[in-house]
Structure 1
């Protein structure tokens, strides 16, 4: 096996510093950090969904940051850096500064030049993808981020629902990548589960968990919602095991610890998107009594 080339990491590290600085500036100046975080996670979720189709299914390009030993993991890790950090961080920065179409087109030019540079440095390779696709899609992606932020301001029900779904999806996808890279879990069909199969099946698993979790936390972030999500994920895991679609090396204590912590995090995401809602009938009664007293005074 070839040893990782240290020089391959340098362009990715430079890009990480640049785009983290853009996001850091946006959060530092923002007066509504909760909504900005929601927008960020929504933008990352959209990028992940596109990447699933373009990279995992149709293998449009290959990343070579030489961070991970296995080429398949290294490729996906490069995609996470690109679609989870470089592009979404810049989209949030663009939306925060209210950059117009000229700036968005310049953003398309910038990412196209970066792509050409990465091709020249051989840390990235096209299979069937073309740089013109990047030039066209980046400004559109930035514009979608703008629209999404406006609809978040208006508390659009569908936008808030999809935002919560994306927040959970991003977390599930990153956790599953961590578990796969540490050999804790592998999805696939048949006796031998290839990593190619894994990265096609695992996003579908993450999407299933995310949809159910979003629906569960839609009305309340309470113990009933948390318990229903926990039971659903346990049941889904058991179905996958019986169908021999997944191989796991988790100790029960580790599994439940990670799953319970994730569920509590999803509840916090729900509060972030929808606000902290009443969790008991007593609070409803107290609220009504307070309103009556205010009217009397």
Structure 2
């Protein structure tokens, strides 16, 4: 008799191979890989925000990849595979190869058939979700990816700001999932912190920290911005701990190592989205502004 745990993993492994091949081809074909990476992270971020509402808060469905022993983590990990790899990777692929509405509708059919197969294999189940929602939302999601890519190319200020926010949010969400999986952090109310509470609170924590980090890095990736984010992170953690909303088991050295590395990465994300400004460029910009003000006066 086949091991049911191994059987559950197989569909997810097959889809992982298929969709990583698709994103690999997308980067191979793309001339602007920096913009493509930004688009990918933004697509994942949008999917994570939707998943937070649909899965974490309202428990629309349940994943059963049987990869992680604890069911709650296994469910969230299944969602990460779906919303962090399968769907966003396909959305980016559809944008790169310029698939039209017919192709996007077929993409909706493709994910609908996957969903029906997963239901039949019992590696996924509906609570209140309906397959028709998938059929409708997937083509719209693919179209949003197209629009986002166009606006990124036009250097739209709002789109670039939101993209940077989503890049940081995705990283924070994945880090916090890893910390929870290794029992380093746990959010909740009261003496006993349930994992259900944790996965409702932790995205709000990640959103708050990501938004502050985005605003801090908006003008420039410098030491002042990095220090602001580090102090904000420490302060936020201390507030949560004093309110007994956060329990953590980090050694001080490990905590600061992870946080400093993450902050440097967010600075790199900022440069990726906005470009690196040299000291000379900043001085030229300031000179132009000064001359403009002198003329007006």
Which range, TM-score by smaller chain? over 0.9
Note if contact 1:41-1:166 (Cα within 8 Å) is conserved in structure 2.
yes
**What's the counterpart of residue 131 of structure 2?**
131
Give the Cα–Cα distance (whole angstroms) in 2 for the partners of residues 25 and 250 of structure 1: 39
Partner of 1:233: 233
CA contact (8 A) 1:20 1:89 kept: yes
8 Å Cα contact 1:213-1:229 kept in structure 2: yes
Structure 1: distance between partners of 2:285 and 2:87? 47
Q: Is 1:19–1:90's contact at 8 Å kept on the other side of the alignment?
A: yes
User: Is residue 196 of structure 2 the alignment partner of residue 196 of structure 1?
Assistant: yes
- 1:197 is paired with a residue whose SS is helix
SS at match of 2:77: helix
Partner SS state of residue 5, structure 1: helix
**Structure 2 CA distance for partners of 1:229 and 1:126, relative to 1, 3 Å:** same
Q: Any conservation in 2 of the 1:4–1:69 contact (CA below 8 Å)?
A: no
- Return the offset for 1:21: 0.4
Please state whether the residue corresponding to 1:247 is helix, strand or coil: strand
Contact 2:29 2:96 in 1 (8 A): no
1: CA distance between counterparts of 2:4 and 2:243?
A: 37
Indicate how the Cα distance of structure 1 residues 131 and 225 shifts in structure 2: closer, same or farther if over 3 A, else same. Answer: same
Is the contact between residue 221 and residue 277 of structure 1 (CA under 8 Å) also seen in structure 2? Answer: no
1:294 corresponds in structure 2 to none
Q: Structure 1: which 5+ residue stretches go unaligned?
A: 290-297
SS of structure 2 residue aligned to 1:53: helix
Q: Give the TM-score, by structure 2 length.
A: 0.94
Alpha carbon RMSD of aligned pairs, Å?
Answer: 1.6
> In structure 1, what is the Cα distance between the partners aligned to 2:72 and 2:88?
23
CA distance in 1, matches of 2:79, 2:37: 21
Superposition pairs for residues 121-160 of structure 1, below 5 Å? 121-160=121-160
Aligned-residue offset at 1:223: 0.2
Match of 1:284 in 2: 283
SS in 1 for 2:186: strand
User: 1:145-294 to 2 correspondence within 5 Å?
Assistant: 145-278=145-278, 280=279, 284=283
Instruction: Work out the number of aligned pairs and report it.
Output: 286
> Unmatched 5+ residue regions in structure 2?
289-297
TM-superposed deviation, 1:284 = 1.6
Q: For the Cα contact (< 8 Å) 1:187–1:246, is it kept in 2?
A: yes
Report the alpha carbon displacement of residue 288 of structure 1 after superposing the two structures with TM.
Answer: 6.8
CA distance in 1 between partners of 2:94 and 2:224 (Å): 39
